[in-house]
């Protein structure tokens, strides 16, 4: 985790397995001047095949400062990325 997040409470915002969506998330947050970090995490895609065969993949989970969480959700909703939110 970057040093500038020392002492900052980070909360998970969203996760994606698609690099194109990760790029869109980065662009949306960057354009609003939001500081964020990410980590690689196991992610399960919701589909019939994943239920049958259990296809876990690597995903990108974005974490944001807790005080910016609501704003970040609004930003991603405007970009039609709300389907990637980690459920509360």
pLDDT attached to residue 50 = 59
pLDDT attached to residue 88 = 61
Cα separation, 71 vs 39, in Å, equals 20
Cα separation, 62 vs 12, in Å, equals 6
DSSP 70: H
User: What are the structural domains, with CATH classification, of the chain?
Assistant: 12-82 (3.30.70.1370)
pLDDT attached to residue 1 = 60
pLDDT attached to residue 31 = 98
CA atoms within 13 A on the CB side of 5: 15
Ranges under pLDDT 70 in the chain: 1-2, 44-55, 88
**pTM of the complete model:** 0.84
Each residue's pLDDT tens digit, 42-66? 876 666 665 666 667 889 999 999 9
């Amino acid at each position: 985790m970057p040093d500038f997040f020392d002492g900052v409470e980070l909360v998970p915002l969203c996760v994606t397995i698609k690099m194109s969506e990760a790029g869109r998330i980065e662009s949306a947050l960057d354009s609003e001047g939001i500081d964020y970090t990410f980590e690689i995490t196991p992610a399960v895609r919701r589909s019939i095949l994943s239920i049958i065969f259990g296809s876990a993949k690597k995903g990108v989970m974005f974490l944001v400062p807790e005080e910016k969480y609501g704003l970040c959700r609004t930003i991603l909703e405007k970009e039609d990325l709300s389907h990637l939110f980690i459920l509360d």
